Structure 1
Amino acid sequence: MTIAVPPDQFALPESALRGLGTRPFGVYVHVPFCATRCGYCDFNTYTAGELGSGASPGSWLEGLRRELALAAEALGTPPAADTVFVGGGTPSLLGAEGLAAVLGAVRDAFGLAPGAEVTTESNPESTAPEFFAGIRAAGYTRVSLGMQSAAPHVLRVLDRVHTPGRPVRAAREARAAGFEHVNLDLIYGTPGERTEDLEASLAAVLDAGVDHVSAYALIVEEGTALARRVRRGELPAPDDDALAASYELVDRRLNEAGLRWYEVSNWASGPAARCRHNLGYWQGGDWWGAGPGAHGHVGGVRWWNVKHPARYAARLADGGLPVAGHEVLTEADRHLERVLLELRLAEGLPLGVLHDDGRRAAAEAAADGLLDPAARAAGRAVLTDRGRLLADAVVRRLAP
């Protein structure tokens, strides 16, 4: 049930706060700034020209500090953050000093649990050896770099601006600065991408020596420049069969290099290399989402912030949380989300979570080669290689 409330009236119910700290707790910080807008991106981001004079990184950071302080009050006795993820947008545009200030604000409000994972996304073009050394000294433990492709013509379709080879060099610089955990992002299925282009991208990723890779099929999101080009017939829409073949190629090459899938779109060299923050999402943990447009979740209550940085800062200057709306998840909502998210994991979902119809559907899915029969016999629903290609369809069968 979605409930729109004035920001000064948003409060988490006691039922949501019950058990806080017994589940993983993370903090997500959204940095809404980008140097340029990528044609495929529908995230809540703004270039300097789009912001005008009503917002700036300085006013955003001041607002962030206020929001995190109010968040700690809203949670009562907040747990220390097990994970922190600074995403965007382009967090690296803040520089090492700005990102150190962000982490300092999280520490001041919540504290960090021993061994906390602290990740920031970064655009390779706004990084340098000094940047990585600075954020490592500030307490960041993990870096996620946007690469998308090694093929210049593919990057042009995506409106990505990269110096050739820069993502690989940035990954090596991060490792040289002491980061054990470095991720590179790939997008496959861009119009005009050939098999040899994807092979070259995968070779570059593996040459960088990273311990984590995220690879996503291109989705043409409504309202983006890419969607307008597809609608005008300038570019073809991604082909489902080609996307499936690309996914299989990604999985095969990463497996050969010792990177194993642990979530449908994520591969890691071992358990320690997995992104703990994202696992918190997939396993039903709690997190506070801070920043313009950020979403949070605690104990079955989900909320989202106002989107524009100027409005975000104004709400906080008035003394209230910048919440635009929230919803209380029903038992049916939570059941569906658990099936949807946990089924994407390599460990799968306990069959006991499913209703009777879902367990019967799981037996049929196993017979159809979509779920692992051995895992099912052991009481779990685990996607097969073919099942991963049809994960959304499997979810619809198990949680109709």
Structure 2
Amino acid sequence: MPSALPLGDPAPSDGLLPAQALEGAGGRAFGLYVHIPFCAVRCGYCDFNTYTATELGGGASQDAYADTAVAEVGFAARALADSGLPERPLSTVFFGGGTPTLLPGEDLARILRAAVDTWGLAPGAEVTTEANPDSVTRESLQLLADAGFTRVSFGMQSAVPHVLKVLDRTHTPSRVPLVVEWAREAGLAVSLDLIYGTPGESLEDWRHSLETALSYRPDHISAYALIVEEGTKLAAQIRRGEVPGIDDDDHAAKYELADELISAAGLGWYEVSNWAATPEQACRHNLAYWRGDDWWGIGPGAHSHVGGVRWWNVKHPVAYAARLDSGASPAAGRETLDSETRNIERIMLEARLVSGLDIPGLGGLEETGRHAVAGLIADGLVEPAQAFRGRLVLTLKGRLLADAVVRRLLPD
């Protein structure tokens, strides 16, 4: 089942933001995340806030979801304006899930149209939807492109049938080249998401998945290590000994192979788990997260962030719709980050980027960080030349140990 929401302070029913959120807002980009919480089948490894038809229960309907999401767009616009935030066009829009393309393309287009009518789009804005390979058609992808979507991210995960079976994926490997071709025909940029470290996946299985994905010449690839979340079907299978557990050395070998093959194909890493054919093809929406920009999250369980104020919506679609129907904020809780916490989070996120971390800009943690850098260079975890120029950029070894690098930069 989906993971629990974080604890936090009560969120005001009018959605108004404190004065802190206004500071420097004019210099920050503004994006929109739209959560579509529906899936045809719950994958055994997933703990996202998603629901199959049988899990929804009474009072929730996929058919009515677009209306509810549009209602939150209107609520967001009023809350931001009444809080004194400057008007800013959307630099990115990202439809995630779940499986956004389980909704009819017309519904996705209607939500996007409401957002664009409300805030406008910045020149060259990126508009992405995630999709499962078996949840789109040639016609639906063309409809999305005509509606203003610029990019599609397909959940390929693997090219090996037995790996897809363990992951409970419903598509067949032969479906992926078809949908990539259809997306290109529609003029959409293509990203492929892969997962490595699935129980029973050999190194050769993973090599086959990488080589197959690269043969489709995607604009972007994400490769994520499988994480076993408590409460999922996969966690129970491992606990019962039905499938083998996760091995850190296996993950490391597969990450190194991914970087080798993806880089050889001409895609460059820009974040620990992400590679793009050109800097322009990097996922700008995810970069907005990693760089601390502002975004509003639409949908049940969606998270938002504006100027160091973070909040999250109630999880169930029924409760979410009821809040908006009553004119109240769907937020379940929120937190206002102090300057130290914001700086720690900035270090944690920016250290994962190829652009690196400004060593002189470590803020209050500068003394700790500076003492750590020499050791990180000696251990081969950061690029020496970049460090001498004042930037902390991870080596390949450093990317494998990114969390450990960050811990060394922060005080005990």
**TM bucket, shorter chain:** over 0.9
CA deviations 1:294-353 (Å, max 9, x no partner) are 000000000000000000000000101100000011122111110110000011000012
More moved, 46-55 vs 254-263: 46-55
* 1:1-400 alignment, distance < 5 Å: 3-5=8-10, 7-76=12-81, 77-179=86-188, 181-354=189-362, 355-400=366-411
Is this contact kept in 2: 1:17–1:75, CA < 8 A? no
Give the whole-Å Cα distance in 1 for the aligned partners of 2:120 and 2:24: 19
Amino acid aligned to 2:35:
H
Residues 78 and 56 from structure 1, CA distance in 2 versus in 1: closer, same or farther, beyond 3 angstroms?
A: farther
- How far off is 1:114 after superposition? 1.6
Is this contact kept in 1: 2:11–2:334, CA < 8 A? no
- How far off is 1:7 after superposition? 4.6
Give the whole-Å Cα distance in 2 for the aligned partners of 1:108 and 1:59: 20
Detail structure 1 runs of 4+ shifted over 4 Å in the superposition: none
Structure 2: runs of 5 or more not aligned: 1-5
Give the whole-Å Cα distance in 1 for the aligned partners of 2:302 and 2:113: 19
CA deviations 1:234-291 (Å, max 9, x no partner) are 1222100010000000000001100110000000011111111110011111100110
Give the whole-Å Cα distance in 1 for the aligned partners of 2:258 and 2:190: 18
- How far off is 1:6 after superposition? 5.3
Is this contact kept in 2: 1:172–1:209, CA < 8 A? no
Give the whole-Å Cα distance in 2 for the aligned partners of 1:124 and 1:170: 6
Give the whole-Å Cα distance in 1 for the aligned partners of 2:321 and 2:87: 23
SS at match of 1:75: helix
More moved, 250-259 vs 10-19: 10-19
Percent of residue pairs identical: 59
Residues 7 and 189 from structure 1, CA distance in 2 versus in 1: closer, same or farther, beyond 3 angstroms?
A: same
- How far off is 1:110 after superposition? 1.6
SS at match of 1:191: coil
- How far off is 1:189 after superposition? 0.4
- How far off is 1:9 after superposition? 4.7
Amino acid aligned to 1:322:
P
SS at match of 1:21: helix
Give the whole-Å Cα distance in 2 for the aligned partners of 1:194 and 1:188: 10
Amino acid aligned to 1:364:
G
CA deviations 1:30-66 (Å, max 9, x no partner) are 0000000000001000001111231112332222111
Is this contact kept in 2: 1:168–1:204, CA < 8 A? no
Give the whole-Å Cα distance in 1 for the aligned partners of 2:110 and 2:239: 43
Give the whole-Å Cα distance in 2 for the aligned partners of 1:350 and 1:6: 34
Give the whole-Å Cα distance in 1 for the aligned partners of 2:33 and 2:203: 35
Give the whole-Å Cα distance in 2 for the aligned partners of 1:108 and 1:20: 21
Amino acid aligned to 1:244:
A
Residues 6 and 351 from structure 1, CA distance in 2 versus in 1: closer, same or farther, beyond 3 angstroms?
A: closer
Structure 1: runs of 5 or more not aligned: none
Is this contact kept in 1: 2:31–2:294, CA < 8 A? yes
CA deviations 1:185-206 (Å, max 9, x no partner) are 0000001001121111112111
Give the whole-Å Cα distance in 2 for the aligned partners of 1:3 and 1:109: 29
| RMSD, aligned α-carbons | 1.3
